[in-house]
Amino acid sequence: MKRSTLTTMVTLFLIGLLASAVPQQSLGQIMPKQQAQPDEQQLRSFAKVYVQVEKIRQTYEPRAKDAAGAEEGKQIQQEAQIKFQEALTKEGLSEQNYLQIFQVAKADQDVRKKVLAMIDEERGKS
C-alpha cells in the first residue's frame, strides 16, 4: 500500500478515535496557528506512537467492521482508544502534543522528512 494512502487511513482512524475524546470546540486550542518546533525527543516519541497507532488500526479496524452491533462497535472503539492512550502515556505525550507534532510535520517539509525517517526506523524494530 502506498505511504500516502496508509498515512491517510491512519489519520482518518486516529481522527475517528479522537472525535469522541476531544470536544470540537477544543480543536482550535489543540492546533494553534503558531506552532513551536518539536525537539528531537518529541519527534522520536511521536514516531513510536505513530507506529503503535498503525498496529492498533490493523488490530481494531477489522474487528470494528465485523462488530455485531453498535454497542460492540463502540466497545471496540473504546478498547482502541485505551490502547492509543497507553501508547501516548508510555512515550510521555498527550493527545494535544501528538496532534501538534502531526500538524507541524504536515506543514514543514524538513520536520516531515525527519519524522518519516524515524517512523521507518521504528517499523524496522518490529
| pLDDT given at position 21 | 43
In a domain, 62, yes or no: yes
- Whether the predicted model's global pTM rises above the 0.85 cut: no
In a domain, 92, yes or no: yes
| pLDDT given at position 25 | 39
In a domain, 12, yes or no: no
In a domain, 76, yes or no: yes
| pLDDT given at position 121 | 96
Structural domains counted in the chain: 1
| pLDDT given at position 9 | 47
In a domain, 17, yes or no: no
| pLDDT given at position 19 | 43
- Residues of the chain short of pLDDT 50, as ranges, are 1-10, 12, 17-33
Name all contacts of 44-48 with Cβ < 8 Å and 24+ positions apart. 44/118, 45/91, 45/92, 45/93, 46/91, 46/93, 46/97, 46/98, 46/101, 46/102, 46/105, 46/115, 46/118, 47/115, 47/118, 47/119, 47/121, 47/122, 48/87, 48/91, 48/122
| pLDDT given at position 36 | 76
- Residue 74's domain comprises 38-125
